[in-house]
Structure 1
Amino acid sequence: MTTREPESTRTEHPAEETPAFDLGPPLTGPDGWAAARPRYPDGSMAPAAFDPRNWWPKHQHRFEMSADYTGQPDYPANQPMFDGTPPPALAADSSRPPAPVEPDPGQYQPRHQPPRPATGTAADLTDDAIVRPRAERPIAGWRGAVYAASGGRINPGVSEAEAARNVLLRRIRRHLPGAHQIAVSSLKGGVGKTTVSSVLGLTLAEHRGDRVVAVDANPDAGTLADRLTGEIGVTVRQMLDNIDDIDSLTAVSHYTSLAGRLQVLASEQDPAMSEAFSRQEYEQICAVLARFYNIIITDSGTGLVHSAMEGTLALADSLVVVGAPTVDGSSRASKTLDWLVAHGYAEMVADAVVVLCCDRVSPEIDRERVRAHFLGRTRAVVEIPYDPHLATGGRVDLAAMREESKHAFLELGALIADRFSGY
Structure 2
Amino acid sequence: MFSNAVRVRKSPPKQGWRAAVYALSGGRWNPGLSDAEERLREQLGKIRTPLPGPHSVVVSSIKGGVGKTTVTALLGLALAEYRGDRVIAMDANPDAGTLGDRLVGEEQASKTTVRDLLDNLDQIRSSTQLSGYTHLAGRLQVLTSEQEPELSEMFSADDYEAVLRTLSRYYEALLTDSGTGVVHSAMQGSLRHADSLVIVGAPTQDGASRASRTLQWLATHQDSQGLFPYRQLAQDAVVVLSCDRSSPYVDESVICEHFRARCRAVVELPADPHLSTGGIVDLDALSPAARDAALNLAATVAEGFQGRRTTGLAAHGFRG
- Separation of aligned partners in 1, 2:27 and 2:158: 56
Identity %: 58
- Separation of aligned partners in 1, 2:264 and 2:149: 36
* Letter matched to residue 145 of structure 1: A
Q: Which residue of 2 aligns with 1:286?
A: 164
* Aligned pairs for 1:106-145 within 5 A: 133-145=8-20
Gaps of 5+ in 2: 222-227, 310-320
- Separation of aligned partners in 1, 2:14 and 2:134: 34
1:296 equivalenced with 2:174 (yes/no): yes
Q: Which residue of 2 aligns with 1:112?
A: none
Q: Which residue of 2 aligns with 1:250?
A: 128
CA drift of 1:362 comes to: 1.3
* Letter matched to residue 266 of structure 1: T
Q: Which residue of 1 aligns with 2:257?
A: 372
Q: Which residue of 2 aligns with 1:339?
A: 217
Count matched residues. 297
**Equivalent position SS for 1:419:** helix
* Letter matched to residue 234 of structure 1: T
* Aligned pairs for 1:39-58 within 5 A: none
**Equivalent position SS for 1:183:** strand
* Letter matched to residue 243 of structure 1: L
1:404 equivalenced with 2:289 (yes/no): yes
| Alpha carbons of structure 1 residues 129 and 396: separation in structure 2 relative to 1, 3 Å | farther
Structure 1 counterpart of 2:53, from 160, 163, 178: 178
Greater helix share, structure number: 2
* Letter matched to residue 69 of structure 2: T
Structure number with the bigger relative contact order (C-alpha 8 A, sep ≥ 6) is 2
- Separation of aligned partners in 2, 1:267 and 1:219: 8
- Separation of aligned partners in 2, 1:239 and 1:182: 20
Gaps of 5+ in 1: 1-123
1:223 equivalenced with 2:87 (yes/no): no
Q: TM-score, normalised by structure 1?
A: 0.68
Per-residue CA deviations over 1:44-65 (Å, capped at 9, x if unaligned) read xxxxxxxxxxxxxxxxxxxxxx
* Letter matched to residue 275 of structure 1: E
- Separation of aligned partners in 2, 1:401 and 1:151: 33
* Aligned pairs for 1:79-118 within 5 A: none
Q: TM-score, normalised by structure 2?
A: 0.89
CA drift of 1:413 comes to: 1.2
- Separation of aligned partners in 2, 1:386 and 1:171: 24
Q: Which residue of 2 aligns with 1:59?
A: none
Q: Which residue of 2 aligns with 1:324?
A: 202
- Separation of aligned partners in 2, 1:256 and 1:152: 45
Per-residue CA deviations over 1:296-343 (Å, capped at 9, x if unaligned) read 000002121111001100111000000000011001111111221232
| Alpha carbons of structure 1 residues 276 and 171: separation in structure 2 relative to 1, 3 Å | same
CA drift of 1:405 comes to: 1.1
Structure index of larger Rg: 1
CA drift of 1:146 comes to: 2.6
- Separation of aligned partners in 2, 1:198 and 1:131: 44
**Equivalent position SS for 1:418:** helix
* Letter matched to residue 51 of structure 2: L
CA drift of 1:400 comes to: 0.5
